[in-house]
Amino acid sequence: MKRRFFLGTATAVSAVFALGAAQPASAEMDFSGKTVEFVIPFSESGGSAKWANFYAPLLSEALPGKPTVVVKYMPGAGSTKGANWFQQQKYEDGTVIFGSSGSTQFPYLLGDPRVKYEYKDWNVVLASGTGGVAFLPPDIAKKFDGDADDLKGIDFIWGSQNATGLDLVPLLAWEMLGMKVEPVFGIKGRGDGRLMFERGEANIDYQTSSAYLKGVVPLVKAGQAVPMMTWGALDADGNIVRDPTFPEMPTFKEVCEATKGCKTSGDAWNAWKAFFIAGFPAQKMVFLPNGASDEAIATYKKAFDDIIARSDFPKISAAVLGDYPQMTGKPATTMLKLGTDVPPEAKAYVKTWLKERFGVSLE
């Protein structure tokens, strides 16, 4: 694979950064006396839950008529259970919205047979970028000095949802570093993986930024966890740079460059970067179901625009969302494309890797 592999992605990222506010909303709906169900296809302990619970009361205040917004959890099958359910929902009155994540996007990208949903049928009204942080227990962290060379002889145990969801990003990264990480598949959310780490059942973990800020920073302050690296962030040219929420932490790219045998070029790197881009800069999105009216889409867009424009939004969002773009309108649509479309070379590499490494066949 050549450098052109990421030309389209870089162009799309630049386009997102260049886009300003989309067109103003048309006539608004009235949600007075109604309840909006914000469905999350994960357990209540992970990053998606924290993201949804942050937005729910703000959305209640911003939507016309100030409806009650209730977060409903529907975990199972790596989030495909909830996504399949949402696919069957037909638009009625705008009181059902769905929050997806990279773990919902990856099975779709890879042709997982459990997937019965189609993103093209859904209507995106918010896209939230995020990052991810890998961390270690203090005794093992003493052996990490910016490269993974001294970690290669350690037997790591990690609580994972599955190999075909967002967890494939860290799984592939750790393998590229030459680390022996044995996943224990089947947890219902990344919060359950953190609990395994806290109980000493796992000796490595990663969390998306929202979950790290809320659930892991206290462990770091208590001396029970030490950050290892972030996955990084994208600049306007599609290059991986330090995560703006955690600028003091090295990126996986930096650690890879410092580790013997790990390369930031070639098929493995290109595949990792493609799925990182699909899973993190476009990580969480809010959708209205198939058939949503233009009025409903415009109403939700304006509500999220009003939330993001609040003078106190940077302050109240920092500890939960981190420093990442929150997008509506055309930028959100562009990020949806990034999150649900990766180069065929990356898909082929990952499918082969999944079969050889974990015996997972998606044919």
Domain of 53: which CATH number? 3.40.190.150
Q: Which of 19-23, 57-61, 278-282 has the lowest mean pLDDT?
A: 19-23
Is residue 333 one of the residues assigned to a domain?
yes
Is residue 353 one of the residues assigned to a domain?
no
Is residue 349 one of the residues assigned to a domain?
no
The per-residue pLDDT for 43 is 87
Q: Are residues 224 and 295 located together in one domain of the fold?
A: no
Q: Phi first, then psi: give them for residue 284, nearest 5 degrees.
A: -125, 135
pLDDT at residue 18 above 90? no
The per-residue pLDDT for 46 is 80
Q: Are residues 156 and 263 located together in one domain of the fold?
A: yes
Amino acid, single-letter form, for residue 143: K
Q: Are residues 188 and 113 located together in one domain of the fold?
A: no
Q: Which residues contact 290 (CB under 8 A, 6 or more apart)?
A: 87, 89, 90, 91, 121, 122, 123
Is residue 360 one of the residues assigned to a domain?
no
Domain boundary among 222, 249, 278: 278
pLDDT at residue 23 above 70? no
Q: How confident is the model at residue 54 (pLDDT cuts 50, 70, 90)?
A: very high
Q: Are residues 37 and 172 located together in one domain of the fold?
A: no
Amino acid, single-letter form, for residue 134: A
Mean pLDDT of all residues belonging to the chain: 90
pLDDT at residue 272 above 60? yes
Is residue 232 one of the residues assigned to a domain?
yes
Are the CB atoms for 65 and 1 separated by under 8 Å? no
Tell me which residue has tokens 């740079």.
241
Are the CB atoms for 57 and 290 separated by under 8 Å? no
Q: Are residues 165 and 150 located together in one domain of the fold?
A: yes
Q: Are residues 40 and 83 located together in one domain of the fold?
A: yes
Amino acid, single-letter form, for residue 167: D
Alpha-carbon distance values, 288 to 8, 16, 120, 332 (Å) = 27, 21, 12, 13
Q: Are residues 49 and 140 located together in one domain of the fold?
A: no
pLDDT at residue 3 above 50? no
CA distance 298 to 310: 18
Number of domains in the chain: 2
Q: Are residues 267 and 286 located together in one domain of the fold?
A: no
Q: Are residues 13 and 107 located together in one domain of the fold?
A: yes
Is residue 296 one of the residues assigned to a domain?
yes
Is residue 223 one of the residues assigned to a domain?
yes
Is residue 362 one of the residues assigned to a domain?
no
**Dihedral (C-alpha) 345, 5, 343, 181: value to the nearest 10 degrees?**
60
Are the CB atoms for 48 and 40 separated by under 8 Å? yes
Domain boundary among 278, 300, 321: 278
Tokens of 353: 């890797």
**Model confidence over 198-221: pLDDT tens digits?**
999 999 999 999 889 999 999 999
On the 0-12 / 13-18 / 19+ scale of CB atoms within 10 A, 79 is: buried
Number of C-beta neighbours around residue 284 at 10 A = 28
Give the domain extent around 69: 3-130+280-344
Q: Are residues 152 and 237 located together in one domain of the fold?
A: yes
The per-residue pLDDT for 24 is 45
Domain of 165: which CATH number? 3.40.190.10
DSSP 14-52: HHHHH----PPP-SPP--TT-EEEEEESS-TTSHHHHHH
The per-residue pLDDT for 16 is 52
**Model confidence over 92-116: pLDDT tens digits?**
999 999 999 988 999 999 989 999 9
Q: Are residues 154 and 270 located together in one domain of the fold?
A: yes
Domain boundary among 220, 251, 278: 278
Instruction: Look at strands 233-234 and 240-241 and give their pairing.
Output: antiparallel
Q: Are residues 309 and 289 located together in one domain of the fold?
A: yes
